[in-house]
Each structure stands twice: as structure tokens, then as C-alpha cells.
Amino acid sequence: MTKEKRERIPNSEATRVIPKGRLLIIGGKEDKGDNPSRQQEHNINFISEEILKRFVDELKGENPLVVVIPTASRQPEETARDYVEVFHGLGAKNVQVADVRTRPEANNPELVELVRNAAGIMFTGGDQLRLTSIFGGSEMLVAMKETYAFKDIIIAGTSAGATAMSTPMIYEGESDGGYIKGDVRVTTGLEFLKNVAVDTHFLTRGRIVRLTQAICTNPECIGIGLEEDTAILVTQGGNVEVVGSGLVTVVDGMGITETNISEIDNGEPFTAKGLRMHMLGSAEKYVVPSYLRFQLQ
């Protein structure tokens, strides 16, 4: 979609499309061929570098361009270097880094063109609020969304890069609790997934209650909790396949029959009845309801 055509779409009007692109949303600490965790070693089905191999396998075209975006990281050069080395080792030789640290850089025409030409984009971990505050409303983000909608690209994110993929986006919360109203803070993410809240390091850091609180504030949303070295591959905007060595937890609040979240004050425990939960292992599938899927502004 050209800039001219995009400007003809009223800001209040969203166009629902079935994206041609794919998302690979990773729960953090994906295996990079180094020392696997004890949990991974105990999994008889553990495959070294499985998630990042899947990313490379999904790239389309001859000598496909991979763009690494380390914006979320406080050590962007080191973080980007790690992914460049891993992708090179997995056979992806055409890898460039978009080291965006400011909003003006997110509107740089050369970087906009870079992501438009990419076959794959990788958002690293760090702080998801850096991603939304720098890329929100930028030309780079517009280009990535249009490319995702109309081109056979794969866009990946790990840890903070995964959490930022969705809306609503959890950007702060108590990992060891989350049952107190006000403990969980939510804002708008990058919106590659609409009405889906993603949380990462999910079982390792005990984040099920904080994700549930986020869902109770808007039960129309689906919560997806990703364990470390575990990912979901999303095709057609909402067809989900689990990849990796751990579990994916889906929290479905649409059937909630009772919650006190709107009645209590901050600092009080919240309650919820009628939640549904699914736990999915490698290669299992889940379908996000069609009316919750990607919209192109």
C-alpha cells in the first residue's frame, strides 16, 4: 500500500485484512546453540536452536534480507551482534541491523526502505516500552505493518519484543503475584495482534495471575503466556502453532461469569469466575477468533 493510498483511509476507520505475513512470537531465552537449561535437557523432545531455525526456514526468496532491531535492549550493539552471528550460523547470510534509538531515527527513509525490503524482521528483548514509545506512529512501524499485511514476510520478537507485538501490552507487573488490583500496567502495543495480550517467561516467573488480571479488565481479549524457549507461529493473523521446548498457556476470559475488578479499589485482591485455560505443547494448534484479528489502520 502506498503512502498516498494509506492517507486516504480515515483515522477512525480500520481495514481488517488477512495478513500474508507470519509472526513468530517467542517467550524469551530461546536456545541459540549454547548451553541448554536444565529444563530443556530434561525434555526428551528438546531440539537445539529449534525456534531460530524455524525463523530462518520461514524466510522467502533468494538471499533473503533479515533485519535485526535491538531497540528494546540497553545494550543494542551486543544484542544485535549475537543474533547476527546466530543467523549467519543457521545459513542466513544477508543480515542487517536497524539500530534505532530515537523517534527521528524511526522515520529515517533509508530504514523505512530497509524494513520494506526485508524477508524477516527480528525484535530483540529488553524493555517493551522502549519499542512502543520509539516506534509508535512512526513510518517504520507503518511500513512493517503494511509489509506484514501484503507481503510474505516473517516478523519475530523475543521477550520484550514478543510482548510488544500485541495489544493490550503488559509493560509492568508483579511476577510473583499480580493478584492485587493495580499491580499490572497495560498500554497499547505495536498491534500486529489485536485483542491478544502476550506475556513471556511465563511459567518460569509465575506470571499466570498477572496475565489473568489483564484479561479481566477486558474479557474480550485472549491472553497468551509463553514459556522460555517456546514460541507461537501465527499465520493468517490468528492461526497459532506452538514451536519449542515448553508450554503455551491460553487464558480465555470471554466466558467470565463474575469478576470484582471494576468494584474494588487499587490494592485489593481481584476475583474471577468462569475463566477457561488451555495448555499447549509443541506442534499443537489454536485459533484466535476471527473478529479479534489484525486490522490495518
Q: What was the pLDDT predicted at 297? A: 67
Give the HSE-up count for residue 7: Cα atoms under 13 Å, Cβ half-sphere: 4
- Is residue 176 over pLDDT 90? no
Q: Tens digits of per-residue pLDDT, 34-58?
A: 877 767 777 877 788 999 999 999 9
For residues 197-216, average pLDDT: 94
Residue of 220, 206, 222 whose CA lies nearest to 173: 206
C-alpha cell at 62: 533468494
| Average pLDDT of the residues of the chain | 91
Q: Tens digits of per-residue pLDDT, 232-253?
A: 999 999 999 999 999 999 999 9
From edge to edge, which strands make up the β-sheet containing 196-199?
193-194, 166-167, 196-199, 222-226, 248-252, 276-280
pTM of the model: 0.92
- Is residue 10 over pLDDT 50? no
Distance CA 288, CA 180 (A): 28
β-strand pairing of 285-287 with 239-244: antiparallel
Q: What was the pLDDT predicted at 175? A: 54
Report which DSSP code applies to 180.
B
Q: What was the pLDDT predicted at 268? A: 95
Distance CA 219, CA 206 (A): 21
Q: What was the pLDDT predicted at 46? A: 78
Distance CA 30, CA 52 (A): 8
277 and 238 Cβ atoms separated by less than 8 Å: no
Q: Would you place residue 267 in the very low, low, confident or very high pLDDT band (cuts 50, 70, 90)?
A: very high
